[in-house]
Amino acid sequence: MRIGYSRVSTVDQDPELQIAALNDARCDRVYTEHASGNSRKRPEFDRLFESLRPGDTLVVWRFDRLGRSVSHLVQLIEQLHARQIELTSLTEGIDTTTPIGEALFTIFAAVAQ
């Protein structure tokens, strides 16, 4: 399954652009969060993360929608890799279902160690 995740930092921001892009990317389900990236409380992300299964692809609009910091993002990528979950960032053009995307994914995972 392709699972999308959108996040806006404030209630004044509109996630519709992200949601439309995730739907265009053929996500089977999209989780939307209204929370700061620095917040440790992200219930929609927690639900999404628990729902992911090996072979799934997590699709995000941009990496900054996913992680609180570079170190947090690298840690998350390592967890996804360990669980055999692919990752696609629509604006950065990284897709771990492709050879180049997998190479970039491996570099991120190596940095985490």
Interval 8-23: pLDDT, tens: 887 778 899 999 999 9
Q: Are the C-beta atoms of 7 and 15 separated by less than 8 Å?
A: yes
State the total domains in the chain: 1
Mean of all residue pLDDT scores within the chain: 86
Give the model's pLDDT for residue 53: 98
- More confidently predicted of 72 and 16: 16
- How far apart, in Å, are the Cα atoms of 5 and each of 11, 31, 33, 99, 103? 16, 5, 8, 23, 23
Question: Residue 112: pLDDT above 60?
Answer: no
| Segments forming the whole domain that contains residue 44 | 2-112
Our answer to whether residue 9 is catalytic in this structure is: yes
Catalytic one among 6, 9, 39, 89?
A: 9
Alpha carbon distance 31, 45 (integer Å): 7
CB atoms within 10 A of CB 86: 21
For residue 38, what is the domain's CATH number?
3.40.50.1390
pLDDT over 80 (residue 2):
yes
Task: Supply the pTM of this predicted model.
Answer: 0.84
Asked if the model's pLDDT at residue 5 lies above 90, the reply is yes
pLDDT (mean) for 69-86: 85
Q: Across-strand partners of 58?
A: 3, 87
pLDDT value at 108 more than 70: no
